[in-house]
Structure 1
Amino acid sequence: MSSARSQPVVAGIVAALVGFAGSFAIVLAGLHAVGASNAQASSGLLVLSVAMGVTGIALSFHYKMPLSMAWSTPGAALLVAAGPVSGGYPAALGAFVLAGVLIVVAGLWRPLTRAIVAIPGPIASGLMAGVLLPICLQPVHAVVEVPKLGIPTVVVWLVLWRVARRWAVPGALAAAAIAVAIDPVAGGPSAHLLPQLTFVTPTLHLGTLLGVGLPLFIVTMVSQNVAGMSVLAAHGYAAPMRPVLVTTGAATVVGAPMGGHGINLAAITAALAAGPEAGPDRSRRWIAAVSAGAVYLVLGPAAGLATALLAASPPVLIEAVAGLALLGTLGAALRAATDDEQQREPAIITFVVCASGVTALGISAPFWGLVAGLLLLAVQRGRYRRLPVLRSRRDTARTP
């Protein structure tokens, strides 16, 4: 196979390997945070990998576009920030179902998509930054709490970040795995090397639906689907929004009882399949997304091994790797949240409330952060609208 013809295949393999190795720790940490056992977290990772592979291959082949799929990394970070939820793990699965249903509705009913897109960018970025901050603090905690494991992990990440940035997170993960193999956690929970599908009937708990399901839908749409569409558009592809949303939303609903929190259009790795790395011929770059989907199908059975690594590691170490992976995303979110001077305060309020981790009325912080930011924005806009009226009244009063 010539270099030009093999380039899309190689690009897809690299995108899948980087995507999986760079963020599976976040997915496992998120599922554990909302109450999943090792077996249930392994099942979730397997289901997500298979769903990403199948939907990515099917959509890319049908539309001849590089429609790469990914699990919702911001959604997994949201689960870490939410922590234990009211109603336990079954209620978290119910929130996954709600998020999937809303994505399907967004694909079929344009007003819902427009409503999500209409959320001011700074507030959406403040929500994302608030969700990411607690995770991005974990490398600091790991260095202090487990220095023999945390320091080598951070040092390897730093070196690779300087010389081969794309491989910094996979390299840090490899360093963590080697450190854990040398000094595993004594008495840690066991995990099967081969993943096993577990089925748990989702339950509906209002607080968890509002505190996890609704924010999960919003961050997945804004940070993944809308961002993925933008990446594709920047490379000259008009992605079919309705089929993508309906397909990924339906796959999320089907996978939720087995632990799949959400799949969506890839955003971070989308550029690898849609850009020049996938070859000079744009009409053949869809092969890269198909190649990536095939790799995800192969990586799915590695979910058990990944969970076994987590079981042998201090939780703070795995969350530290996840935090290193999300530092760039946090920086971009903070910059976007503070760029607009008029909307800076509502965005900061959203960020602060989300990062606080508070739970009120059984509803977790991300929901309240979004409410607080939108409320302050509404008050601010109302004040700005009244200012011309107040000024005109003062001017009239001063007229002799």
Structure 2
Amino acid sequence: MSAFFLRHISAGVTAVIVGYSSAVVIVIDVAKRAGASDAMVVSWLLALGLGMGVTCIAFSWFTKVPVVTAWSTPGAAFLLTTVEQYSYSDAIGAFVLCAFLSLITAQSRLLLKQIGRIPPAISSALLAGILLPLCLTIFSDVNEYPYIVASFLVVYIVGSRLFPQYLMLVLLILSLIVTVFMQGQASDPGFTFELGAPLPVWVTPTLSWSAAIGLGVPLFIITTLSQNLPGIAIHHVHGYFPDHKPILSGIAIVQGILAPFGGFTFNLAAITAAICMGNEVDNDKQQRYKAAIAAGIAYVIVGFSASAIVALFVSMPNVIIHLLAGLALLATLQRAFSKSMETQSHRAPALLTLLCTASGFSLLSLPSAVWGLGLGLGLLFVQKREGKPS
């Protein structure tokens, strides 16, 4: 039994390491672009760690199913390109609105089904358009730092073949080594690291119509389509069929409570959840929920280490941040692009959605992602009205 217990801990901690190492730099960058102070950035990671930890532990314990939650990495990527257009309090208000929409959706299986009917080609193109500019930054520093960029690319190419599960962890270690040799070129050397427990920072939410439509609604759609629906599918693939209504409702309530402290999204995990559901975790399928509980405990510990984590990542030069974020999102971009082009009759609407979203413009206070989704669905509607095969 102890051997199984060690497997649970190993799987849970691995899930947390994979989740954090692949996206924490993006979350910190989002917070800074939103206008967060150093203390607020720490509060973001504290809120996210506690939120994910509590939901993992609580839902896994009560359902006896491995329920792993996460922040929305695609949602963070979307915010990275749009959040600077709004005030900090309006952004917080948009996070609360996203939680409210998620809560309403969780109450109606019909509504969740209707959202799921948005063609995968369009939703994937929307995600690809959001990720493309971020992945292009992999090569934005080639002229200034050719050897650093080349070293990361070599590790990425070799690691994709030899150790794909630990690739982002290896890249993170490489980032720390390179950062040590590049001291004095930090992207934000002004951060003040203080020992001790991190403190939550409350910001009263406000909400404008532009932030509601430009931030809250797209964040909700992206999180639902790219995170919660795949998260449900991961459960079903592994033979787990819990009632997702209370789980999704609880996650949305936690987000609503923690949003003023920086908890921008919480949702079902997919990739990291799969780490806690395989046969290698436990031969007894009914015992694998313990791995998700271990992941929750690790999330809580990491949350209380927020000050050290932020101090670590804000000391990294911009070239390292660009490489880490871009390479972390590369596999997701590949899947999104492939999915967007799978159905021949949806390729033109998907391409229009992708290009419009990737352009990054803002019109009438609405970001390009909103316009891209609208244009893609509009063209798809016109094609169907003209009788083209779907």
TM tier, shorter chain?
over 0.9
Q: Equivalent residue for 2:127? A: 128
Deviation at 1:28, TM superposition (A): 1.2
> Does structure 1 conserve the Cα–Cα contact (< 8 Å) formed by 2:353 and 2:375?
yes
Cα deviations by residue, 1:32-54 (Å, 9 ceiling, x for unpaired)? 23332332222111111110000
Query: 2:58 maps to which residue?
Result: 58
Per the alignment, in what secondary structure is the counterpart of residue 70 of structure 2?
strand
Deviation for aligned residue 1:298: 0.9
Task: Determine the structure 2 residue equivalent to 1:75.
Answer: 75
C-alpha distance in structure 2 between counterparts of 1:192 and 1:252, whole Å: 27
The match for 1:268 is 271
RMSD: 1.8
Which one is further off, 360-369 or 109-118? 109-118
TM-score in terms of structure 1 length: 0.91
Q: In structure 2, what residue type is equivalent to 1:44?
A: W
In structure 1, the residue matched to 2:34 is 34
Q: Residues of 1 paired with 2:336 and 2:343: CA distance? A: 12
1:176-234 CA distance string (max 9 Å, x none): 12211222226722132553322111110111211111111011111111001101100
Find the aligned partners of 2:386 and 2:255 in 1 and give their Cα distance.
Answer: 42
- Look up the match of 1:196: 199
Letter in 2 for 1:94: G
Letter in 2 for 1:126: A
Greater CA drift, 318-327 or 61-70:
318-327
Q: Distance in 1 between matches of 2:40 and 2:97?
A: 19
Relative to 1, partners in 2 of residues 1:268 and 1:143: Cα closer, same or farther, differing over 3 Å? Answer: farther
In structure 2, relative to structure 1, the CA distance for the partners of 1:11 and 1:219 (3 Å cut) is same
Which deviations, in whole Å up to 9, do the C-alpha atoms of 1:74-116 show, x marking residues without a partner? 1111111224123x11111111111111111111133331221
Kept after mapping to 2: 8 A contact 1:126/1:334: yes
Is contact 2:182-2:317 (8 Å) kept?
A: no
CA distance 1:39–1:147, change in 2 (3 Å): farther
Q: Which residue of 2 aligns with 1:378?
A: 381
Aligned to 2:299: 296
Measure, in 2, the Cα distance between the counterparts of 1:279 and 1:245: 26
Looking at structure 2, the residues matched to 193 and 328 of structure 1 have their Cα atoms a distance apart, in angstroms, of 36
Aligned-partner residue type, residue 102 of structure 1: L
The equivalent residue for 1:345 is: 348
Q: Is the 8 A contact 1:248 1:264 kept in 2?
A: yes
Larger radius of gyration: 1
Unaligned 5+ runs, structure 2: none
Q: What displacement does 1:29 show?
A: 1.8
* Structure 2 equivalent of residue 235 of structure 1: 238
Residue 148 of structure 1, CA deviation? 5.7
Letter in 1 for 2:349: P
| C-alpha deviation, 1:277, in angstroms | 2.8
Task: Give the drift of 1:149.
Answer: 4.5
Is this contact kept in 1: 2:83–2:215, CA < 8 A?
no
Equivalent position of 1:140 in the other structure: 139
Distance 1:316 1:191 in 2: 21
- Match in the other structure for 1:357: 360
Q: Letter of the aligned partner of 1:120 in structure 2? A: P
1:54-78 CA distance string (max 9 Å, x none):
0110000000000111111111111
Letter in 2 for 1:306: I
The answer to whether structure 1 residue 7 and structure 2 residue 10 are counterparts is no
1:342 & 1:33 partners in 2: Cα distance?
38
Q: Percent of counterpart pairs with the same letter? A: 38
Amino acid at match of 1:65: V
Residues matched between the structures, number: 385
TM-score, length of structure 2 as denominator length: 0.94
Deviation at 1:316, TM superposition (A): 4.2
Q: Is the 1:358–1:364 Cα contact (8 Å) retained in structure 2? A: yes
Give 1:313's aligned amino acid. Answer: M
Contact 1:152/1:175 (<8 A) preserved: no
CA contact (8 A) 1:9 1:278 kept: no
> Matches of 2:129 and 2:169 in 1, distance apart?
25
Counterpart for residue 211 of structure 1 = 214
AA in 1 matched with 2:38 = N
Deviation, structure 1 residue 147: 3.9
Which position in structure 2 is the counterpart of 1:395?
none
Correspondence for 2:164: 165
Which amino acid counterpart does residue 272 of structure 1 have in structure 2? I
C-alpha distance after superposition, 1:265-293 (max 9, x if no partner): 11111111112231211000100100100
Which whole-Å CA distance do the structure 2 matches of 1:38 and 1:326 have between them?
25
What SS does structure 2 have at the residue aligned with 1:93?
Answer: helix
Q: Aligned equivalents of 1:302 and 1:160: distance in 2?
A: 28
Cα deviation for residue 132 of structure 1 reads 0.8
Unpaired segments of 5 or more residues in structure 1?
388-400
